[in-house]
Amino acid sequence: MSNTIEIRWHGRGGQGAKTASLLLADVAFTQGMYVQGFPEYGPERMGAPITAYNRLSHTPLRIHSNIYTPDIVVVVDETLIGPVDVTAGLKEGGALIVNSRRAPEEVRAEFPGYTGRLYIIDAKSVSLRNIGRNMPNTPLLSTVVKVSGIMEAEAFFENMRGSFAHKFASKPEVLEGNMKAIREAWEEVVTA
Amino acid sequence: MSRRDRLSGNEAVANAIRQINPDVIAAFPITPSTEIPQYVSLFKAEGKIDTEFVTVESEHSAISATAGAEAAGVRAMTATSSAGFALMHEMLYVVASDRLPVVMAVVNRALTGPININNDHSDSMGSRDCGWMQLYSENAQEAYDNMLMAHRIAEDPEVLLPIMICQDGFITSHAVENIVLEDDETAKAFVGEYKPEHFLLNPGKPVAYGPYGVSPYYMELKRTQTEAMNHAAAVIQKVSKAYGDLTGRYYDLIERYRMDDAELACVCIGSSAGTGKAAVDVLREQGIKAGLVKIRAFRPFPGDEIADALKHVEAVAIMDKTDSFSGNGGPLGAEVRSALYQHKCKAETINYVYGLGGRDVRVEDFYQIFRQLEDIADGEEAPAWRYIGVRER
Amino acid sequence: MKENLMKHISEKSPWQDMTPGGIVLGGGNSVDVRTGDWRTVSPKFHADKCRQCLLCFPVCPDSSIPVVDGKRLDFDYDHCKGCGICAAVCPFGAITFGEEEQA
């Protein structure tokens, strides 16, 4: 089981954490990996805290439970830090990715007991700049792929170009913006 | 050529339905099965199927329209969950007693109350004695495979019984996983054409369906129904063998996981079986002879196979994702124990009620269960049944 | 009269002889059930008084008034249950009804 990467996403209803987990499953699938992408369901409302999960592995996945000791935690909305114990169970040597425009040390200060790896990406600005809307999913996906190491940069970009071309077949003008967003996110992620 | 893909359980079942291309689907939306008719209606809109899609006003109507279409002489399907399933309850008996080989996708969800949308088996287990066959699926792949086998099992002249293809709500229905899909031609060829011997819209050979069953006939008719269920086990095995030969994915009434030399075993249904297998592997590395029996067919109930799988086991945990509120545990517990008693098996048993209303079932839960089984095997007294995963004072 | 495909099945038949789902083969075979045996009071047809207005035939719940070439014939006593509706609607006294009329 050690070759399985477990990822937990923290977001709010409507922000696309579920979609992000499905996108990541898609990307890993194209690398020939075994994947799971699933949200924790309840009677969610827009804005309520939600959790989504990924398991990515080179061997078949059988466990059908939520993830309690993730390798990677992704915080889609930093206002959840505090109300939600986002680092709960995060493995020693794991990674925490936070979507924030704040300075790395400022974000680090939010996790007094946490000594592990912390990555900051301003996914909102990246998406506003390149896509024209606050769509943090795409840049965050790029960051997760980079941090998890499941793919090399160029292979990932190539892969995303293919899936964007399919997804935005009717509006090709959106394609380049999304491509720029994932490239920028790959470069701009900072380690705190 | 088969194709590797990644789909949710609902997408997988919807794709099987697309390949089956049934003549009629009558369905009413209810979480978490809603996506199935939703995808099917999309396939219809895209011209990928020529199914007659009947939008009905309730699940009672959904199953009634499905039954009517099937009696008329065509393949008819529906899908439901939880309260919608319960609203079908009366008609489920009618479909079975009319011997209509209807296929229904069930996405298991807790039956209220309190109201809850998450998974357990209280909906389909509540209708376990309505005369339908029930196959349960561990993951999206099995839900797809079971669906492609369903019509050949149900329509076999020795069976002619309706069948439910069940999977766990959200846990598999909404989780994207790897899956292998058969190509459309292969799937269609396997499912085959529906050629009923008797049906209503057959002017050359008229029949009447659903007569009143007066007392002098009623019991004889029920006896024919149970005889059909007696035949079902062999037909499920026959169809599963043919499917395995075609796809390389073999299934039986039950799955035995590391049971050959197992001393301790869990019996469970659905998605938890995968979690249990992962636990078994870890325990085996620690030298504990653990094994797992997964129930695929709950109706017909494979009592002989279960007893055979457990004949050398010292202690077994039977896991129910529903409570019977009988003061005696759950339905699987009762039926497995009955089979063990009948076959004079000596295994000690404990019945767990677990995973109600979406309560997560973890690998650690299985470790706890196997620890208790070790104690029971060592002679420790244990209750006949108990809850696991519940907060206790 | 067409063949009765269900005649081999009776209240004495073993379960093995039942049709799947108890379906009734052949259909339209309610004619084989002699509901006339249930009758305790009978109608009687007086052809000399009948004007062939055919008010009686559509009200019969048991299709026991045969009509051929636009003319009603005598009652089908194999199936008439003796409800008396026909006698009540006849304007011409061509149908009498009572125990004394027992056919």
In angstroms, the Cα distances linking A59 to A5, A33, B364 are 11, 8, 21
Half-sphere exposure of C88 (CA within 13 A, CB side): 7
Is the bond preceding residue B32 a cis peptide, omega within 30 degrees?
yes
pTM of the predicted structure, to 2 decimals:
0.93
Structural domain total, chain C: 1
- Per-residue pLDDT of B53-80, as tens digits, reads 999 999 999 999 999 999 999 999 999 9
Distance of CA B151 to the CA centre of its chain: 14
Contacts of B363 (CB under 8 A, 6+ apart): A63, A65, B275, B278, B279, B282
Contacts of C25 in chain B (CB under 8 A): 198, 207
> Pick the residue with more confidence: B386 or A1?
B386
- Per-residue pLDDT of A62-107, as tens digits, reads 999 999 999 999 999 999 999 999 999 999 999 999 999 999 999 9
- How far apart (Å, rounded) are the C-alpha atoms in residues B233 and B359? 32
Nearest Cβ partner of B207 from C15, C16, C24? C24
pLDDT of the residue at A46: 84
The average confidence (pLDDT) of chain A is 92
- Per-residue pLDDT of A4-41, as tens digits, reads 999 999 999 888 888 889 999 999 999 999 999 999 88
Task: State both tokens at B282.
Answer: 């870890």
Task: State both tokens at A8.
Answer: 């937990």
Contacts of A67 in chain B (CB under 8 A): none
Distance of CA B111 to the CA centre of its chain: 16
Contacts of B206 in chain C (CB under 8 A): 26-28
The complex's ipTM works out to: 0.92
pLDDT of the residue at C27: 76
DSSP string, chain C: ----TTTT--TT--GGGSPGGG-EESS-GGGGS-GGGG-SSEEEE-TTT-----SHHHH-TT--S-EETTEE-S--TTT-----HHHHH-TTS-EEEEGGG--
Mean pLDDT of B204-225: 95
> Pick the residue with more confidence: A163 or B143?
B143
Helix (H, G, I), strand (E, B) or coil at B112: coil
Mean pLDDT of B196-221: 94
Contact B177 A68 (CB under 8 A): no
- Per-residue pLDDT of B289-311, as tens digits, reads 999 999 999 999 999 999 999 99
Nearest Cβ partner of C18 from B160, B209, B221? B221
Contact B175 A38 (CB under 8 A): yes
Judge whether B151 and B100 are in contact, CB under 8 Å. no
- Per-residue pLDDT of B339-372, as tens digits, reads 999 999 999 999 999 999 999 999 999 999 999 9
Contacts of A39 in chain B (CB under 8 A): 174
Residue in chain B closest to C11 (alpha carbons) equals B216
- How far apart (Å, rounded) are the C-alpha atoms in residues C46 and B71? 46
- How far apart (Å, rounded) are the C-alpha atoms in residues A71 and A57? 12
Judge whether B120 and B358 are in contact, CB under 8 Å. yes
Ranges A163-177, B62-76, B108-122: which has the least confidence: A163-177
Mean pLDDT of B155-183: 98
B34 contacts chain A (CB < 8 A): no
Tell me if C1 is assigned to some domain: no
Residues spanned by the domain of A123: 5-191
Helix axes A137-148 and A153-167, enclosed angle (nearest 10): 150
For residue C28, is pLDDT > 80? Answer: no
Instruction: For strands B297-299 and B133-136, give the pairing.
Output: antiparallel
Structural domain total, chain A: 1
pLDDT of the residue at C71: 96
Q: In CATH, what number does B3-247 get?
A: 3.40.50.970
pLDDT of the residue at A14: 84
Contact B118 A39 (CB under 8 A): no
pLDDT of the residue at A119: 97
* Cβ within 8 Å of A, B 133-192: 138-139, 168, 170-172, 174-178
Nearest Cβ partner of B6 from A29, A63, A66? A29
Name the DSSP letter for residue B179.
E
> Pick the residue with more confidence: C102 or B122?
B122
pLDDT band (50, 70, 90) for residue C103: low
- Per-residue pLDDT of B131-140, as tens digits, reads 999 999 999 9
CA angle B260, B261, B267 (to 5 degrees): 70
- Domain ranges for chain B, please list them: 3-247, 254-387
Q: Do chains B and C touch (3 or more CB pairs under 8 A)?
A: yes
Residues spanned by the domain of C83: 41-103
C98: left (phi over 0), alpha (psi -120 to 50) or beta: left
- How far apart (Å, rounded) are the C-alpha atoms in residues B106 and B113? 19
CATH fold for domain B254-387: Rossmann fold (3.40.50)
For residue A1, is pLDDT > 50? Answer: no
Contact C24 B208 (CB under 8 A): yes
The average confidence (pLDDT) of chain B is 97
| Cα–Cα nearest to A65, from B172, B372, B81 | B172
Helix (H, G, I), strand (E, B) or coil at A36: strand
Contact B208 C27 (CB under 8 A): yes
Name the DSSP letter for residue A79.
G
Nearest CA distance, C17 vs chain B (angstrom): 9
For residue C100, is pLDDT > 80? Answer: no
Half-sphere exposure of B393 (CA within 13 A, CB side): 0
Q: Is the dihedral of CA A122, A125, A126, A131 positive or negative?
A: positive
| Domain CATH number, residue A93 | 3.40.920.10
| Domain CATH number, residue C79 | 3.30.70.20
- How far apart (Å, rounded) are the C-alpha atoms in residues B165 and C10? 37
